[in-house]
Amino acid sequence: MKKIVIATSNKHKVSEISVKIQPFFDEILSLADFPEIGEIVEDGNTIEENSILKSTASFNHTKIASVADDTILEVDALNGAPGLYTARYAGENASFEENMTKLLKKLDGIDYDLRTARFRSIISFVDGINDFHVEGTIEGKILKSKVGDNGFGYDPIFYSTEFDLSLAEMNQDIKNKVSHRGIAIQKFIKKIGELNL
C-alpha cells in the first residue's frame, strides 16, 4: 500500500495538496495523524531548506514517504519582505487577518504600480531514496484592500495580473491550476509519475 504523509497540520494546505495527489497514493496522512511529532522547527535560511526540514523530520519519525510545502510572499517594494516570515509576519501566532493588516500598513501610500509581488512555493519529497523538490511561482500585485472570500492567508490581497482576479476570487479548481502551490503540485505529480513509485 502506497502511503504518504503531508508534513503539515494546516488543514487548508492538506486539502489543496491531497486533492491533487490522491490518484497516486492509497492513503494520505498529515501531521495531525502524528501529534507526537510536535511542531517542526523551521530554522532554515531559505524556503527550500524549510520545506526539506519538514519532509525529512516527518519521514524520519514515521518511516513513511513525506511531502512538505513551504511558501513565501515576496513584495518588491519591501525588499522581498515578508519572505521567510510570511506565516508569522505580524508575530509568532499571528492570524491571517493580522498578517494582511500589517502588510497593507507597510504598503500604505505606495502606488499600485509599485506593489508588485510574487508567491513562491517549494514542495519537497523525502522517502530516503527518491528525494527531490520542485518550485511554483505566481506573479501579481498587492491590492489596497481585500477582495474575495475564498482561499486563506494573503489570498484576498494578492491580485494575479495574469488572470485579473485576486487568489480569493478564484474557485478551488482554478486556484489549484494557476496558483504557486498549484503549479508546484503539478510539477510534483509529474515527477512522482516519472519515478513510478
Q: Do the beta carbons of residue 39 and residue 57 sit within 8 Å? A: no
Name the catalytic one among 33, 70, 127, 164.
Answer: 70
Which of 187, 145, 140, 186 lies closest to 165, judged by CA? 140
Active site residue 111: no
Using CA atoms, how far apart are residues 172 and 150, in angstroms rounded to an integer? 8
Q: Is 155 helix (H, G, I), strand (E, B) or coil?
A: helix
Question: Kindly report the CA angle at 55 between 69 and 195, in degrees rounded to 5?
Answer: 90
Type of residue numbered 41: V
Using CA atoms, how far apart are residues 82 and 23, in angstroms rounded to an integer? 35
- What secondary structure does DSSP assign to 83-126, as a single string? ETTGGGTT-TT--HHHHHHHHHHHTTT--GGG-EEEEEEEEEEE
Catalytic residues: 70
